[in-house]
């Protein structure tokens, strides 16, 4: 497995990391790995959460803000 050396960690950040590792009963190395996984790994979204987000987006879209005539005009303007 690859190894990683991190230099110049601010003292306050190191103390936070050390405290979190102790709280979770992990080594500092393991705590760093868990923190990186949380940030870099894609978040798992449940279907219910995804549907809720879609419904929120749909409700924020204004309906009938473009008329059929404006659509036709935009299509015709884009043609040679």
**Which residues, other chains included, contact 32 with Cβ-Cβ below 8 Å and sequence gap of 6+?**
6, 17
What does pTM read for this prediction?
0.54
Q: What is the mean pLDDT of the chain?
A: 90
CA torsion, points 35, 36, 37, 38, in degrees to nearest 10? 50
Q: What percent of the chain has pLDDT over 90?
A: 61
The pLDDT of residue 26 is: 96
Which whole-number Å values give the CA distances from 46 to 52, 72, 80, in the listed order?
10, 39, 46
Give the torsion sign (CA, 11, 14, 20, 21): negative
Task: Specify the residue for token string 């990683």.
Answer: 4
């Amino acid at each position: 497995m690859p190894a990683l050396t991190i230099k110049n960690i601010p003292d306050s950040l190191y103390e936070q990391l050390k405290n979190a590792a102790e709280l979770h009963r992990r080594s500092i190395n393991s705590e760093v790995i868990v923190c990186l996984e949380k940030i870099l790994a894609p978040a798992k979204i449940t279907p219910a959460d995804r549907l809720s987000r879609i419904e929120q987006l749909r409700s924020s879209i204004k309906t009938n803000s473009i008329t059929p005539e404006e659509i036709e005009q935009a299509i015709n303007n884009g043609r040679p």
